[in-house]
Amino acid sequence: KRQCYVTKVGKCQVNLGNIQEKKRFLSDIFTTIVDLKYRWFIFMMCCIVTWVVFGTVYFFNAWAGCDIRHRGDPEWRACIKNVDSFVSALLFSVESQQTIGYGSQMVTANCTKGIILLMARSIVGSMIDALMVGCMFVKISRPKKCAQTLIFSKNCVISRRDEKLCLMFRMGDLQDSHMVDAKIRAKLIKSRQTAKGEFIPLEQSELNLGYDTGEDHLFLVEPQIICHIINHRSPFWDMSADSLHWEQFKIIIILEGIVEATGNCLPAGMTCQAHTSYAADETLWGYRFEPCMSLEKGAFRVDYSRFEMTFEVQTLAASTKE
Q: What architecture does CATH give domain 36-141?
A: Orthogonal Bundle (1.10)
| pLDDT value of position 266 | 43
Domain 36-141 matches domain 145-312 at the CATH topology level: no
| pLDDT value of position 53 | 86
Q: What is the mean pLDDT of residues 41-63?
A: 76
Query: Beta strand pairing status for 310-312 and 287-289?
Result: antiparallel
Most confident of 3-17, 57-71, 127-141, 181-195: 181-195
Beta bridge partners of 185: 254
Q: Tell me the residue length of the chain.
A: 322
**287-315 pLDDT, tens per residue?**
999 998 888 777 888 888 889 999 999 99
The residue with greater pLDDT, 146 or 236, is: 236
Q: What is the mean pLDDT of residues 9-33?
A: 59
User: Do residues 48 and 42 make contact, with C-beta atoms less than 8 angstroms apart?
Assistant: no
Q: Which backbone phi and psi does 139 adopt, to 5 degrees?
A: -65, -40
Could you give the CA distance from residue 172 to residue 49 in angstroms, rounded to a whole number? Answer: 45
The residue with greater pLDDT, 245 or 187, is: 187
If you classify domain 145-312 with CATH, what class do you get?
mainly beta
| pLDDT value of position 5 | 62
**83-124 pLDDT, tens per residue?**
778 888 888 888 887 777 666 777 777 777 778 888 888 888
User: Do residues 184 and 254 make contact, with C-beta atoms less than 8 angstroms apart?
Assistant: yes
Task: Return the C-alpha torsion angle 120, 126, 132, 135, nearest 10.
Answer: -110
Q: Which backbone phi and psi does 108 adopt, to 5 degrees?
A: -105, 175
Most confident of 51-65, 120-134, 180-194, 253-267: 180-194
Q: Which among 146, 211, 133 has a CA at the least distance from the CA of 176? A: 146
**19-29 pLDDT, tens per residue?**
555 555 555 55
Q: What is the mean pLDDT of residues 126-137?
A: 76
Half-sphere exposure of 318 (CA within 13 A, CB side): 4
Could you give the CA distance from residue 183 to residue 265 in angstroms, rounded to a whole number? Answer: 21
| pLDDT value of position 202 | 84
**243-279 pLDDT, tens per residue?**
888 888 899 999 988 876 555 444 445 677 888 899 9
Mean of all residue pLDDT scores within the chain: 79
Could you give the CA distance from residue 235 to residue 92 in angstroms, rounded to a whole number? Answer: 66
| pLDDT value of position 265 | 45
Q: What is the mean pLDDT of residues 171-192?
A: 84
Could you give the CA distance from residue 66 to residue 129 in angstroms, rounded to a whole number? Answer: 32
User: Do residues 19 and 97 make contact, with C-beta atoms less than 8 angstroms apart?
Assistant: no
| pLDDT value of position 267 | 43
Could you give the CA distance from residue 287 to residue 93 in angstroms, rounded to a whole number? Answer: 67
**What pLDDT band is residue 46 in, cutting at 50, 70 and 90?**
low
Beta bridge partners of 227: 168
Domain boundaries, the chain: 36-141, 145-312
Q: Long-range contacts: 281-285, Cβ < 8 Å, 24+? A: 282/154, 282/155, 282/156, 283/155, 283/156, 283/157, 283/158, 283/167, 283/244, 283/251, 284/155, 284/156, 284/157, 284/158, 284/310, 285/157, 285/158, 285/159, 285/241, 285/244, 285/315, 285/317
Q: What is the mean pLDDT of residues 182-202?
A: 88
Q: Which backbone phi and psi does 32 adopt, to 5 degrees?
A: -60, -45
Global pTM exceeds 0.95? no
The residue with greater pLDDT, 81 or 33, is: 81
| Percent of the chain clearing pLDDT 90 (strictly above) | 22
Half-sphere exposure of 112 (CA within 13 A, CB side): 0
